[in-house]
């Protein structure tokens, strides 16, 4: 089974990302991921995330969004975690603006294993103490560590 620490790197965890709008945040996500994985085209990542949002918002509630999509050219699942400097309207289920994003990109031929990753992310973010620790992280490394600790049940 794939675990979050296998697909998330410290370089793809960032605090105080400028918000602004949903579109601008998704552009930031695409640049962050492509900066860490030069084989991925930031424009394709952005367009794929926007296309998925058009099917229905990935705003999960409690100030969290889990933008995700299948991506041509993506060989293995890739994740990123961002905390915004100011919450943005994400058309979330509960109407609460989003300040935490947990991004998941999966290969075009996604499997049940990828659905399991989404379930792991959602279940971790369902815990208020995990959300609080993510919001209190003072730097990128701390944000990454909170995810690892939460994944391991701490």
Active site residue 68: yes
Q: What does the pLDDT read at residue 1?
A: 73
Task: Say if pTM beats, i.e. exceeds, 0.85.
Answer: yes
What pLDDT was estimated at residue 81?
96
| Cβ contacts of 54 within 8 Å, gap of 6 or more | none
| Residue 73 DSSP label | T
Closest to 66 measured CA to CA, from 149, 139, 134, 138: 134
In this prediction, residue 152 carries a pLDDT of: 79
Query: E-assigned strands of the chain?
Result: 13-17, 59-61, 64-65, 68-71, 78-88, 98-107
Q: In this structure, what token pair is assigned to residue 131? A: 């959300």
Query: Which residues of the chain have a pLDDT value below 50?
Result: none
Per-residue model confidence (pLDDT) at position 80: 96
pLDDT at 141: 96
Maximum Cα interatomic distance, the chain, rounded to a whole number of Å: 37
The answer to whether 144 touches 121, Cβ cutoff 8 Å, is: no
Q: Where are the beta strands (DSSP E) in 89-138?
A: 98-107
Share the mean pLDDT of the chain: 92
Q: Write down the catalytic residue from 22, 68, 131, 133.
A: 68
């Amino acid at each position: 089974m794939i675990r979050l620490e296998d697909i998330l790197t410290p370089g793809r965890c960032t605090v105080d990302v400028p918000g602004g709008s949903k579109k601008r945040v998704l552009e930031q996500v695409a640049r962050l991921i492509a900066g860490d994985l030069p084989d991925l085209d930031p424009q394709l990542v952005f367009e794929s995330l926007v296309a998925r949002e058009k099917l229905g918002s990935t705003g999960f509630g409690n100030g969290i969004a889990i933008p995700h999509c299948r991506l041509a050219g993506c060989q293995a699942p890739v994740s990123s975690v961002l905390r915004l400097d100011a919450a943005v309207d994400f058309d979330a289920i509960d109407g609460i603006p989003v300040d935490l994003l947990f991004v998941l990109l999966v290969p075009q031929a996604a499997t049940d294993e990828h659905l399991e990753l989404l379930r792991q992310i959602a279940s971790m973010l369902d815990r208020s103490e995990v959300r609080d620790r993510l919001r209190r992280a003072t730097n990128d490394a701390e944000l990454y560590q909170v995810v690892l600790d939460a994944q391991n049940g701490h």
